[in-house]
Structure 1
Amino acid sequence: MASETNTGPMLGQRHVQTFLLFLSIVVNYIAKFNAGVAVVAMTNAESTNPNFPEYNWNEMERSYILSSFFWGYIMTQFLGGWLCRRYGARLTMFVSTIGSALLVLLVPFCVSWGGWQVYCAIRVCMGIFQGLMFPCVHAHLANWCPVSERNRLGALANTGIDCGTLLAMFVSGQVAASSMGWPGIFYISCAVGVLWCVAWWIFGADTPKQSRFISKEELYYIESSISENTKEEDTKEVLKIPVPWKAILTSLPFWALFLVRCTQSWGYSTLQAEIPAYMNGVLLMEMKSNALFSALPYLASWIMAFVYVIVADILLTNGTLTITGIRKTFSSVASWLPALSLIGLSFLDSNQKTLAIILMTASVGINAGATIGSALNTIDLSPNHAGILMGIVNTGANVVPILTPLLVGLIVKNEGNRNQWQIVFIISSVVFFVGNCIFLAFGTAVSQPWDAEDYLMRPQPGLALPSTSSEKSKSNENDQ
């Protein structure tokens, strides 16, 4: 009975871990997405600081630079899940971030002799390191989040995506136009990554039991909550649970999640990578205002992420919607409304800058609901295999950002041609819409039977546990 009434300390180490995960995403996204602004500054010095080198890269070469990060990123998603299970999130995420931070520092020193090709090579290597991160984030959340707080803490950690993108767009533009010039973008990206690594090494812990700073009250609260649903109290036990690959790869809810994450990635990455070029070419905005307004959609997204968290908590607390209902409702809002905004955006030009900025801001801001709508669904389907699921899903979702800049490079031959951008935005809208339809039909937030520790042993009599995690989760789902 005590475990049902215990709510743990209002502010504890689980919140510290969530904040560190938030910051890890922020610093990695700054390094990841500063290229959207950097390539504009590096190829048009007059728009920023003309005292630094300018490179004559065409649109296709710039597209290669923007997509090259993801060539490496998709290679290490599975590896990230495995390393996290083998060595824990603390070490794996440290290696991931320090590697990416040191590599981004190489750009201003190497691009002068290696051109866009060496910039691509550096970003491929950065992607290899950062590919380890998100499987660890989801596995770490599964270890640290009490079940009743999983939705809230997971969503708060993932707001780092919006904050990191916001800072990458806004700060990069301001730095490029300052006395530091475009090389300053890379110096600052490196510095914040190294600072995070220091904080993570001091305060990060793979499990509540391994934390030096956690109170006994909070340790009991977290372990009792997680053990009731997964019967796990230590990540070492998770390593003993075999991965039911066949069951995962034949699961309709898993594939619905996989597809909706890919389609949301398509629409989001189109805007993420191409907003600076679109504003510069079609809306005829110079770099300083370009950076400000490029960042505005991600400020809206960051704010909306907190709005979605509050609304989701209210709906769950009042019993208005189940977790599955929350996932599907928020996913629909985050997919279909941005699809409509993108179609509207495709018909605007430089004479309608204000409306274009409003629609871009609305599209990205509303899309923040995708975090609660689908991104956390890996933990719903299988807390025991959340890192593995995230590795698979993130691999597919990040093949997409390789393709979208290349598609833009093929379609947009003239940055100032609104009709060519129109094709890009309409394609993204259709992809947004179709992917969410599949998730509505087959998605769920109920823990799957193959999450149970004894799933692969069930054909053998006498090995089944008294109650499986899937049964517990189903009862929890009904309670909610």
Structure 2
Amino acid sequence: MSVSSEDKKLRLDKDDSTPGKYWGRDEKRLWGASLFISCASLYTTRSVMPMSIVSVAKDVHWDKVQKGTVLSAFFWGYCMTQVLGGYLSDRIGGDIVLIVSATGWALITFWTPFIIKLSSDQHTAMVLVVISRVLLGCFQGVHFPSVTSIVCRKVNDQERSLIYSFITSGSQLGILICGSVGSILLERFGWSSVFYVSGCAGICWVFFLKYYLVAQQRKKQIVLSMKDNIVAGEKSHTDSGAVPWLLFFRKPPFWAIIVAHFCHTNAFFILFSWLPTYFHDNFPDAKGWVFNVVPWIVTIPSAILGGHLADLLIRKGYSVTFTRKFLETLSQVPLAICLLLIGQNLHSYTNSVILMTIAVSASSLHKAGVMVNSTDISPRHPGSVMGVMNMAGAIPGFIGVYIAGYILETTKSWAAVFNQTAVVTTIGWLTFMIFGSGKKIV
């Protein structure tokens, strides 16, 4: 397939870059590994409270309403800082934003046991915990917009899908770490230990990022600036200009990625939140480590393979538009089909595990489809666009999961939950297929 004129122009624009703009081979490996670990640490700390909530509630006498309040408070904060995080990342550099935000969410995680026990008055204690959860969401809300901004600035378009998919697949590793190591800590040392260990791990990553990677990169940029009389690399941040939101709001491809991402995260959060309950209700004798670990293990190689496939298609001359829609089809169509089939396989444990594994692994291809598409349509403002996408994508964290619970409570039907999720997923896929594009808006 021939390359479109828009794609050729986009590549020429990117090739005409200042010296040192893109990472070299060693930098890609080092930064890629570090940001992969950052996503893993992010999701480890994000998963600590959901995993420990039963033990915490037992100790401090929380009822189900209070547990739900604590868990949902995170997503209110998570929605608030997405756009701001992307804007700041595009203006001053995503690496700086990551350092500040990671310091915040790591310290909050570490201090959570103290916050929970700070007051003997239950109402006051609950208020403090909710505030800390909202702040945790605020700090974590800037993470993915920052990562998106960094990758767009430092990786050329023919390698970006693989790097981005690899980095963001660290989130699945974080879920696995929390589910395995966290469970051992919880059982042997109590719920406080899980918060302490995950918080300390986040702080260690911050020190590595701040004192090694970022310091090294800034020194290199200063040398390039003195040598070439330009502000290499930093110019793309400081001269990005105001975000043309009115222009974006008039463009169907912009709305397409927002709708598609919203529909995808709806399915992701429902699987993430309700998968253990589904297996507990239908297969009470099943081993938890199987259905809590197996589906998420497969997602990491699946995401990396999807990124590699996307880059391969672009290098072979397929348009960016075709590539993103093809990967999104590979992601959302199998996901919707598996969701429909899961509701009909309530008596087969093996089939349910296989279908869940396929569904979760297929959903990871979304990283090389819609998620990285923000860098295609707006290479000058990738973090800001990703911020809007992820703000919309965070809404199902408290709305979609609640609706799924309401459907389950009123109908007592898992098929109804998965069927409505499949419908929403299909709507997102069709929207992107009709209106999505890989052409640059601005």
Shorter-chain TM band: 0.7 to 0.9
> Does 1:336 find its partner at 2:341?
no
**CA 1:80–1:182: 2 relative to 1, 3 Å:** same
Taking the aligned partners of 1:55 and 1:276, their CA distance within structure 2 comes to 23
**CA 1:116–1:363: 2 relative to 1, 3 Å:** farther
Alignment-derived partner of residue 472 in structure 1: none
Taking the aligned partners of 1:181 and 1:152, their CA distance within structure 2 comes to 39
Kept after mapping to 1: 8 A contact 2:259/2:431? yes
Q: Deviations over 1:433-470 (max 9, x none)?
A: 0111000001011112xx2xxxxxxxxxxxxxxxxxxx
Equivalent positions of 1:215-364 (< 5 A) are 233-240=232-239, 241-285=241-285, 289-319=287-317, 321-349=318-346, 351-364=347-360
Higher relative contact order at CA 8 Å, sep ≥6: structure 1 or structure 2? Answer: 2
Taking the aligned partners of 1:54 and 1:356, their CA distance within structure 2 comes to 36
> Does 1:188 find its partner at 2:193?
no
SS of residue paired to 1:384 = coil
Alignment-derived partner of residue 142 in structure 1: 152
Aligned-partner residue type, residue 162 of structure 1: Q
Equivalent positions of 1:20-419 (< 5 A) are 20-42=34-56, 53=59, 55=61, 57-58=63-64, 60-112=65-117, 113=120, 114=122, 118-177=128-187, 179-205=188-214, 210-212=218-220, 233-240=232-239, 241-285=241-285, 289-319=287-317, 321-349=318-346, 351-413=347-409, 419=412
Aligned-partner residue type, residue 173 of structure 2: C
**CA 1:127–1:237: 2 relative to 1, 3 Å:** same
Q: Deviations over 1:106-138 (max 9, x none)?
A: 333333554666544322110011112122111
Alignment-derived partner of residue 5 in structure 2: none
Q: Deviations over 1:43-98 (max 9, x none)?
A: 5x7xxxxxxx374532x544433322110011111221232244322221111111
Alignment-derived partner of residue 428 in structure 1: 421
Kept after mapping to 2: 8 A contact 1:80/1:133? yes
Alignment-derived partner of residue 28 in structure 2: 14
| Larger mean Cα displacement after TM superposition, 371-380 or 148-157 | 148-157
**CA 1:316–1:147: 2 relative to 1, 3 Å:** closer
SS of residue paired to 1:445 = coil
**CA 1:40–1:292: 2 relative to 1, 3 Å:** farther
Taking the aligned partners of 1:338 and 1:364, their CA distance within structure 2 comes to 7
Taking the aligned partners of 1:214 and 1:332, their CA distance within structure 2 comes to 44
**CA 1:315–1:408: 2 relative to 1, 3 Å:** same
Unpaired runs of at least 5, structure 2: 1-11
Taking the aligned partners of 2:181 and 2:370, their CA distance within structure 1 comes to 29
Alignment-derived partner of residue 474 in structure 1: none
Taking the aligned partners of 1:90 and 1:366, their CA distance within structure 2 comes to 30
Taking the aligned partners of 2:37 and 2:339, their CA distance within structure 1 comes to 30
Taking the aligned partners of 1:27 and 1:93, their CA distance within structure 2 comes to 12
How many residues matched?
417
Aligned-partner residue type, residue 274 of structure 2: E
How far is 1:28 from its partner?
0.8
Q: Deviations over 1:194-250 (max 9, x none)?
A: 111011102333996x3549998xxx9xx9xxx9xxxx9433454332321210111
Q: Deviations over 1:302-331 (max 9, x none)?
A: 121122133333333333x32221211111
**CA 1:116–1:298: 2 relative to 1, 3 Å:** farther
TM-score, normalisation: structure 2: 0.85
Kept after mapping to 2: 8 A contact 1:84/1:136? yes
**CA 1:285–1:150: 2 relative to 1, 3 Å:** same
Aligned-partner residue type, residue 80 of structure 2: M
Taking the aligned partners of 2:290 and 2:60, their CA distance within structure 1 comes to 22
Taking the aligned partners of 1:104 and 1:84, their CA distance within structure 2 comes to 23
| Larger mean Cα displacement after TM superposition, 130-139 or 305-314 | 305-314
**CA 1:330–1:148: 2 relative to 1, 3 Å:** closer
Alignment-derived partner of residue 458 in structure 1: none
How far is 1:396 from its partner?
0.8
CA RMSD of aligned residues (A): 3.1
Aligned-partner residue type, residue 422 of structure 2: S
TM-score, normalisation: structure 1: 0.79
SS of residue paired to 2:348 = helix
How far is 1:301 from its partner?
0.7
**CA 1:203–1:134: 2 relative to 1, 3 Å:** same
- Identity rate, percent: 24
